[in-house]
């Protein structure tokens, strides 16, 4: 027995038990090696026309014997001599394919794609096999050799006699794995089935460029006997047939003009196990220092577990048409976690084996380009097919908003333009840019209201007050909306028609445009304001003056109301946002924490420690109720003032969708008033 070169025991144990963690990839590695062997033979035929190689006959064969507990992977590639067996399989981590690839780099092209790289893939066979036998015959050689090892101490190389059943009549290699016995912790019998082997080939090696063939069992109806009577019942029989079980040509390598929408949809549904067609399909082909192909899909519906902790994002990553990772999370940002697809590149940096990916600038460059492509496709969908985009946003918009919030607003420039919100004025979904473009002169901010119900929000006094002034309000009903806007703080609408300070400037610009000049555009940055927060600065000078006078004239009343409400409010003030026929009072907040944010935080896991909004009770001095308050204060009826203050406060809370702290006491107060 010959011993392995290098520190055989330690290194081989590392190869088998540490580098690879998923034992089922052994078949992927052996099929990839077989593909390389055929590629080498084909490349040789390109420079030696006397070989007379028939490319149509090049194939890889996979078979199993359940009784003998063996799996055989055969190819009719270039084969190996005794010296090559010694060099390639006797020296661990020596890659014959890698050396061949470097030596023949200029001769390779689209027709040849050597997969191997590190020379450790072959040893993955020992994860499932207690013995591996390699029978090979090199091109042009008369001798056939067998390499045998148990993967522990060493190996043997011996010639194969012509009368040996293992003798090969032509060049190529056959690898026979004798599987390990089952244990309590591991079952190896699962690999001794037609279904399992076909499933592994289709998952990992479906796009290897050569046919991977297997004898598969099929069923057919027996021929009806000539003398069969009317009561004859059809009989069926099983038979085996050699079948190609891989697709060979990746759909992402084809030109878009060669693939129909139906074929893309079928690939998407079968690959990613979705019953609905994708909402959008797009591809990316990069050339230069880093070459790769990508085919991506935006699902037509959100998976049920999209927002659960168990959901895994990522694109399928292939290297030279061989599946490396089923979900490469590093290729997608979290806010695009819904995108499905494949990326294929021979240039990705693998770490020792095809199972481990290095974190490199190459991967980062691919991720940036993919992110930019996804953003561009979403923008195109938003502009060209609004109905489809609104459906997409209904499914996945929450993730885009969370992307802005989780990045502390750093991703707002990329994502804010993709957001949609319900316009209270226009009664439809609008983008932030559309909102800003429709703002009347004099409007200083984007106004929004956050809550859990659109209909309730539209009826809120603070919303109506803004609408009455001719300004639109965005109605936000997702719990992440308020946090998203707080992270953004402002929005810049780019490329809007320029707003002119006076009629003369506008007329001059219109004349210039009529003479052929390009219309002037500008970027407009506006603040985002919650209609329940602080002073919106919507009041006229006269309204502000009237509020100041009312506040000064009723300091005693407001002080008594504040004393009655205690720590529930920071202060009681005259509202400048409510009209005479509006609500008698509203609850607003001061500082960064709004009432809606308080509600969301209070429903979370840290509800006991959730912060509270700084509440302000704004009273409508033009409402008849205010006169009742003044009358009670002037009459010295402190109990009635306290009663009215509590009723107004709890009523304002209900309008905000917040239950009074003591609903029973509130009901009693209403009954007392009645």
How far is the C-alpha of 289 from the C-alpha of 110, rounded, in Å? Answer: 17
Please give the DSSP secondary-structure letter assigned to residue 299. Answer: -
- pLDDT value, residue 116: 47
Q: Distance (Å, rounded) from C-alpha 144 to C-alpha 163?
A: 11
Indicate the fold that domain 251-387 takes in CATH. Answer: Ribosomal Protein S5; domain 2 (3.30.230)
Considering only CA atoms, give the Rg of the chain. Answer: 37
pTM here is 0.80
Strands 490-497 and 571-574: unpaired
Domain 541-673: CATH superfamily, name plus number = Heat shock protein 90, C-terminal domain (1.20.120.790)
Q: C-alpha distances in angstroms, 456 versus 464, 476, 488?
A: 11, 11, 25
Q: What interhelical angle do 386-406 and 361-384 show, nearest 10?
A: 140
Give the whole-angstrom CA distance, residue 261 versus residue 271.
15
The CA angle 568-572-575, to the nearest 5 degrees, is 130
> Domain 420-530: which topology?
Rossmann fold (3.40.50)
Q: In the prediction, which pLDDT does 6 show? A: 53
Low-confidence ranges of the chain (pLDDT < 50): 94-98, 100, 110-112, 114-118, 351-355
Spatial neighbors of 105 by CB under 8 A, at least 6 apart, are: none
CATH 3.40.50.150 is held by the domain 2-217: no
- pLDDT score for 117: 46
- By C-alpha distance, which of 106, 94, 112 is closest to 38? 112
Place of tokens 């060493």: 154
Helix (H, G, I), strand (E, B) or coil at 300: coil
CB pairs under 8 A, 24+ apart, for 358-365? 359/330, 362/290, 363/330, 363/331, 364/330, 365/290
Give kind and range of the element (H or E) at residue 490: strand 490-497
What token pair was written down for 441?
């002169």
Among 498, 509, 483, 519, CA closest to 596: 483
DSSP SS3 for 418: helix
Give the domain ranges of the chain. Answer: 2-217, 251-387, 420-530, 541-673
Q: What is the pLDDT of residue 407?
A: 94
Alpha-carbon distance of 597 to 614, in angstroms, equals 12
């Amino acid at each position: 027995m010959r011993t392995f070169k290098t520190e055989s025991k330690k290194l081989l144990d590392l190869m088998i038990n540490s580098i690879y963690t998923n034992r089922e990839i052994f078949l992927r590695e052996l099929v990839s090696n077989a593909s390389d062997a055929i590629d080498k033979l084909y490349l040789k035929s390109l420079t030696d026309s006397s070989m007379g190689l028939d490319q149509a006959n090049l194939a890889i064969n996979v078979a199993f014997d359940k009784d003998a507990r063996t799996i055989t992977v055969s190819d009719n590639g270039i084969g190996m001599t005794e010296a090559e067996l010694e060099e390639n399989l006797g020296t661990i981590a020596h890659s014959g394919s890698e050396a061949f690839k470097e030596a023949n780099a200029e001769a390779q092209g689209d027709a040849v794609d050597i997969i191997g790289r590190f020379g450790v893939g072959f040893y993955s066979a020992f994860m499932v096999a207690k013995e591996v036998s390699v029978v090979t015959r090199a091109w042009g050689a008369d001798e056939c050799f067998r390499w045998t090892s148990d993967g522990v101490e060493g190996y043997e190389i011996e010639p194969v006699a012509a009368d040996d059943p293992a003798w090969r009549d032509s060049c190529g290699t056959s690898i026979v794995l004798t599987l390990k016995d089952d244990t309590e912790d591991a079952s190896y019998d699962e690999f001794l089935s037609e279904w399992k082997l076909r499933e592994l080939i289709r998952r990992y090696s479906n796009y290897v460029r050569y046919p991977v063939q297997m004898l598969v069992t099929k069923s057919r109806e027996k021929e009806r006997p000539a003398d069969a009577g009317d009561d004859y019942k059809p009989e069926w029989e099983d038979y085996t047939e050699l079948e190609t079980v891989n697709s060979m040509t990746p759909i992402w390598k084809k030109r878009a003009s060669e693939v129909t929408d139906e074929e893309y949809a079928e690939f998407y549904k079968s690959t990613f196990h979705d019953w609905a067609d994708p909402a959008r399909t797009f591809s990316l082909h990069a050339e230069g220092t880093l070459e790769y192909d990508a085919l991506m899909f935006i699902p037509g519906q959100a998976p049920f577990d999209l927002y659960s902790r168990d959901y895994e994002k990522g694109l399928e990553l292939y290297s030279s048409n061989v599946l490396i990772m089923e979900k490469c999370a590093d290729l997608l940002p979290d806010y695009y976690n819904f995108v499905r697809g494949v990326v294929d590149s021979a240039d990705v940096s693998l770490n020792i084996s095809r199972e481990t990916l290095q974190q490199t600038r190459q991967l980062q460059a691919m991720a940036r380009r993919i992110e930019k492509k996804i953003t561009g496709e979403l923008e195109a969908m938003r502009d060209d097919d609004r109905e489809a985009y609104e459906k997409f946003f209904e499914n996945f918009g929450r993730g885009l908003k969370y992307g802005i919030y989780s990045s502390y607003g750093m991703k707002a420039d990329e994502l804010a333009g993709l957001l949609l919100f319900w316009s209270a004025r226009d009664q439809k979904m609008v983008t932030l840019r559309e909102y800003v473009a429709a703002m009347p002169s004099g409007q200083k901010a984007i106004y929004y209201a956050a809550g859990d119900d659109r209909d309730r929000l539209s009826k809120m006094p603070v919303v109506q007050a803004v609408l009455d002034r001719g300004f639109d309000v965005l109605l936000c009903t997702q719990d992440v909306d308020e946090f998203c806007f707080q992270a953004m703080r402002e929005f810049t609408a780019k490329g809007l028609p320029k707003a002119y300070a006076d009629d003369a400037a506008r007329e001059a610009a219109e004349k210039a445009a009529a003479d052929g000049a390009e219309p002037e555009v500008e970027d407009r940055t506006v603040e985002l304001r919650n209609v329940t927060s602080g002073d919106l600065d919507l009041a006229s000078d006269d309204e502000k003056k009237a509020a100041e006078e009312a506040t000064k004239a009723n300091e005693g009343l407001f002080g008594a109301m504040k004393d009655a409400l205690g720590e529930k409010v920071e202060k009681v003030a005259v509202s400048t946002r409510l009209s005479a026929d509006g609500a008698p009072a509203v609850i607003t907040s001061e500082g960064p924490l709004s009432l809606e944010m308080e509600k969301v935080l209070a429903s979370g896991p840290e509800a006991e420690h959730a912060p509270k909004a700084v509440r302000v009770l704004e009273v409508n001095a033009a409402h008849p109720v205010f006169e009742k308050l003044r009358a009670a204060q002037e009459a010295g009826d402190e109990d009635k003032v306290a009663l009215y203050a509590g009723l107004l406060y709890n009523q304002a809370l209900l309008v905000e969708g917040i239950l009074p702290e003591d609903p029973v006491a509130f009901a009693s107060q209403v009954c007392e008033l009645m």
